[in-house]
Amino acid sequence: MTENRSGQPAPALPEVPTDLLIGGKWRPATSGRTFTVDNPATGDVLVEIADADAADAAEAIEAAAAAGAALAAMPTGDRAELLRAVEGELRARADEFALLITLEMGKNLDEALAEVSYAADFFGWFAAEATRIGGDYRASPTGATRVLVQRRGVGPCLLVTPWNFPLAMATRKIGPALAAGCPSVLKPAEQTPLTSLLLARVMTEAGVPAGALNVITTTRPADAVTAVIDSGLARKLSFTGSTAVGKVLLRQCAAQVMRTSMELGGNAPFVVFADADIDAAVDGAMAAKLRNMGQACTAANRFLVAEPVAERFTAELARRMGELVVGPGWEPATDIGPLIDDEAAAKFRWLTEDAVRRGAKVETGSARAQGRFVRPTVLSGVRPGSALLAEEIFGPLAPVMTFSDEDEAVALANDTPYGLVSYVYTRDLDRGLRMFDRLDSGMTGLNVGVVSNAAAPFGGIKHSGLGREGGVEGIDEYLDTKYAAIRA
Ligand code: NAD
């Protein structure tokens, strides 16, 4: 690890709203309570913002419901224009958003800029999708009736996002909701609410109608979310976060028979066959492991490498990871910022120590951490039963195991309750497509280490979730199908 501690203070926080946005008005929490948002690199307080309670959340969903009819009636071309206007603003203000993401979340500025661009893509994509919401016409087999099918927005939505991609996880939900004419309540993660607040201001200034987007920031997410679900006004929940919380929310939504989209945790295998281009595989591994310092649901969690190339792949990965510069995200030399909090650093240490205790060898890095700054670490010879094979690591820690043939690779890869993404490196096209068929994951990267893309149906199977975000599938999550039987 190269230390990067210039001792320079953090840049100033861009000006952000600190109140709740409800029905087009910014206001403090009814209780007057506030909470602090911290810079994970320094532990310093960035700003104090409103801490909503259940009553504020109930008011937010009422405001969304009140805005519903007008938004549903807005021509799809007008919705598309609004989305394009916000996309333009995000791109024009990319540096400001990127700095804000770096300050509240920790990732380096280049990664934050990439997130802004990815986030803006969803508004561009769903602007186009808004104008393509269509229907269908059929004749009944008897000829007695005509069947007219139309699709319309599901109604008020609750959008709950995690801390790791504070902008993109929000736009991936707000984009299709608005395109479908659905008003929403956004509840960002308490660690990183500022990006959502700035986004909401930008959207309001771009002309998004009052009540179409409401934002609730809170330290009591269960209370706020429960109030919205129990109101009976929300017709849909789109949640991105941990599988454990997703399961709780699925149960809660069942009581209201709500539509749900669940983007949950992952445990991605990264499979390297002996015929792979090893340099390309290492490049892909760096991207799949280290995007967001490993704090991504798509992060490669287990490296499964064919025996004949394992030594070369592991040595090269260790060399590349060992060269990375660790430091505060705003410093230009930084590759790897801090983990989000002390708990995340403690988990990184514990998972590393557990694997080493069970026989793994440290190829680079260590379990040692300086606060939230941890060394990118590669472990070889990881033994079955090590905790990091079953847990989402969420840090720059790469465990390598070997396999002897394709069947063993598939068995190891699928040996998890999760099924979000898998990565496969091979030069054999037939094998690549066979692996795509055989792997139990919603997404597969074939000779590529990043699958996120606004045009693609992002999502998982098994315990990784339900539904898809992005692609032509993304807007379906916010549409109901209605049909009229018409006498022929
Ligand atoms: P988390 O589940 O702790 O929190 C996610 C959101 O849920 C936050 O807004 C939080 O405030 C809220 N929340 C927490 N407890 C709640 C409760 N009891 N009731 C209602 N809301 C509650 O997850 P996190 O730590 O913020 O994010 C990391 C997780 O998100 C990882 O598991 C990661 O894999 C997953 N993730 C998945 C995707 C995907 O697209 N599949 C993308 C990013 C992150």
- Identify the three-state secondary structure at position 46: strand
Mean local confidence (pLDDT), 114-132 = 98
| Number of domains comprising the chain | 2
- Identify the three-state secondary structure at position 27: strand
- Distance between CA atoms of 163 and 168, rounded to whole angstroms? 10
Number of other residues whose CB lies within 10 A of the CB of residue 67: 23
- For the stretch 330-358, pLDDT in tens is 999 999 999 999 999 999 999 999 999 99
Q: Is 241 in the pocket of ligand 1 (CB under 6 A)?
A: yes
Q: Does 285 reside within a domain?
A: yes
Angle subtended at Cα 277 by Cα 271 and Cα 283, rounded to the nearest 5 degrees: 75
- Number of helices (H), then strands (E), belonging to the chain: the values are 14, 24
Q: Tokens in use for 477? A: 């999550």
- For the stretch 230-286, pLDDT in tens is 999 999 999 999 999 999 999 999 999 999 999 999 999 999 999 999 999 999 999
Q: Are residue 18 and residue 107 in the same domain, yes or no? A: yes
Token pair 């995000």: residue: 90
Which residues, 6 or more positions from 409, have their beta carbon under 8 angstroms from its beta carbon?
271, 273, 304, 306, 403, 435
Q: Which of 107, 173, 240 to mutate to test the pocket of ligand 1 (most atoms within 8 A of CB)?
A: 240
Q: Are residue 176 and residue 274 in the same domain, yes or no? A: no
Q: Are residue 130 and residue 229 in the same domain, yes or no? A: yes
Q: Which of 105, 217, 297, 339 to mutate to test the pocket of ligand 1 (most atoms within 8 A of CB)?
A: 297
Q: Is 264 in the pocket of ligand 1 (CB under 6 A)?
A: yes
Q: Tokens in use for 31? A: 């209780």
Q: Does 4 reside within a domain?
A: no
Number of other residues whose CB lies within 10 A of the CB of residue 412: 18
φ, ψ for residue 167 (rounded to 5)?
-95, -50
Q: Does 3 reside within a domain?
A: no
In the predicted structure, residue 3 carries a pLDDT above the cut 70 = no
Which residues, 6 or more positions from 335, have their beta carbon under 8 angstroms from its beta carbon?
108, 290, 324, 325, 326
Q: Is 476 in the pocket of ligand 1 (CB under 6 A)?
A: no
Q: Are residue 278 and residue 240 in the same domain, yes or no? A: no
List the one residue out of 396, 440, 438, 380 whose CA is nearest residue 415.
440
Q: Are residue 89 and residue 131 in the same domain, yes or no? A: yes
Q: What is the dihedral of CA 22, 27, 31, 33, to 10 degrees?
A: 110
Q: Are residue 288 and residue 390 in the same domain, yes or no? A: yes
Q: Are residue 14 and residue 66 in the same domain, yes or no? A: yes
pLDDT band at 368 (very low <50, low <70, confident <90, very high): confident
Q: Does 337 reside within a domain?
A: yes
Per the prediction, the chain carries an average pLDDT of 97
Q: Does 309 reside within a domain?
A: yes
Q: Are residue 239 and residue 100 in the same domain, yes or no? A: yes
Give nearest CA residue, ligand 1 atom 18: 222
- For the stretch 27-43, pLDDT in tens is 999 999 999 999 999 99
Q: Does 459 reside within a domain?
A: no
Give nearest CA residue, ligand 1 atom 28: 241
- For the stretch 303-336, pLDDT in tens is 999 999 999 999 999 999 999 999 999 999 999 9
Which atom of ligand 1 is found nearest the CA of 245? 2
In the predicted structure, residue 5 carries a pLDDT above the cut 60 = no
Q: Are residue 75 and residue 177 in the same domain, yes or no? A: yes
Q: Are residue 402 and residue 483 in the same domain, yes or no? A: no
Catalytic residue status for 59: no
- Identify the three-state secondary structure at position 479: strand
Q: What is the CATH classification number for the domain harbouring 437?
A: 3.40.309.10
What does the pLDDT read at residue 7?
Answer: 64
Q: Are residue 222 and residue 290 in the same domain, yes or no? A: no
- For the stretch 225-243, pLDDT in tens is 999 999 999 999 999 999 9
Q: Does 187 reside within a domain?
A: yes
Q: Which range of residues forms the domain containing residue 189?
A: 9-264+464-487
Q: Are residue 255 and residue 373 in the same domain, yes or no? A: no
Catalytic residue status for 297: yes
| Residue 107 contacts residue 63 (beta carbons within 8 Å) | no
Check 157, 182, 253, 297 and give the catalytic one.
297
Q: What is the CATH classification number for the domain harbouring 122?
A: 3.40.605.10
Q: Does 1 reside within a domain?
A: no
List the one residue out of 185, 182, 187, 216 whose CA is nearest residue 83.
182
